[in-house]
Amino acid sequence: MDDQPRSLSASHSANPAKALRFRTVGFDLDGTLLETAPDIAAALNHALKIAGRPALSYDEVRPMIGGGAKRLLARALAGPEGGRVPDDVLDPLYTELLDHYRRNIAVETRPYNGLLTALDQLADAGIAVGVATNKLESLARELLAQLGLADRFACVIGGDTLGTDRAKPEPDMLFELERQCGGGPTAFVGDSIYDTRAAQAAGHPCVAVSFGYRQGPVEELGADRIIDHYDDLIGALATL
């Protein structure tokens, strides 16, 4: 009858996340939770214009994202030849980039397809979710708030939260995420080498998304599992 309690297996079938061994799942932000590259590229090109440099295309900017805005700007200013950009050049342009980005942080940024359903499944299973991003914490919180996603995450750890010397690929942010989410077995979801190296150093199984921001093939990141769509996340976590 309809009013009879469902069996445990039936409950897990309705929401497979309930069978996961993890109590916490952490996520990177840019290129993992959200497609942020259009708004980041606009802010970067604003700074490059002030510097008298040519604009970069969306496809050029995408693989450069992941290490934080200041590193992104330094790489763009250094160009193909590389080299160090003097602080007296970099710092004022970094301020311009951040100011532009704060004013235009969610113009084109959107969650990836299937993300909200996956987050709903994790929440229904009682699994805490948090964000560990090399983006400044204030910007990450503002972005999530503007998109109506802030309440979905138990914590947001930014690249400056613990100090920039402890940002990914160091494991410290993931340890802090695990602590703030209540501990227990933890997995991490990301899109770049910063994410997989941090997860490996923290001892957390890692799922890489193939649609994010990186320079080489996703298979070279060293993740434990790779997914092409968020519809596959719960199944991937179930095998870890």
Q: pLDDT higher for 141 or 82?
A: 141
Query: Count of alpha carbons within 13 Å of 134, Cβ hemisphere only?
Result: 27
Tokens 């095998």 belong to residue: 239
For residue 192, what are its two tokens? 């770049």
Counting residues of the chain whose pLDDT is more than 70, the rounded percentage is: 95
What confidence tens digit (pLDDT) does each residue in 31-55 have? 999 999 999 999 999 999 999 999 9
37-103 and 8-36+109-238 share a CATH fold: no
3-state SS of 135-199 is CCHHHHHHHHHHCCCHHHCCEEECCCCCCHHHCCCCCHHHHHHHHHCCCCCEEEEECCHHHHHHH
CATH architecture of 37-103: Orthogonal Bundle (1.10)
**Locus of tokens 């942080």:** 105
Domain ranges of the chain: 8-36+109-238, 37-103
Q: Which residues are catalytic?
A: 28
pLDDT in tens, 120-174: 999 999 999 999 999 999 999 999 999 999 999 999 999 999 999 999 999 999 9
- Considering the four listed CATH numbers 3.20.20.70, 3.60.15.10, 3.30.413.10, 3.40.50.1000, the one that applies to the domain covering 8-36+109-238 is 3.40.50.1000
pLDDT in tens, 198-221: 999 999 999 999 999 988 899 999
8 confidence band (pLDDT: 50, 70, 90):
very low
Task: Specify the residue for token string 């959107």.
Answer: 110
- Average pLDDT for the chain: 93
User: Band of the pLDDT at 4, cuts 50, 70, 90?
Assistant: very low
What is the model's pTM? Answer: 0.90
pLDDT at 13: 67
What residue type is 14 in one-letter code? A
Confidence of residue 67 (pLDDT cuts 50, 70, 90): confident
Kindly indicate the confidence band of residue 83, based on its pLDDT and cuts at 50, 70 and 90: confident
- Please give the structure tokens belonging to residue 142: 């503002």
**pLDDT for position 11:** 52
How many Å apart are CA 72 and CA 68, to the nearest integer?
A: 6
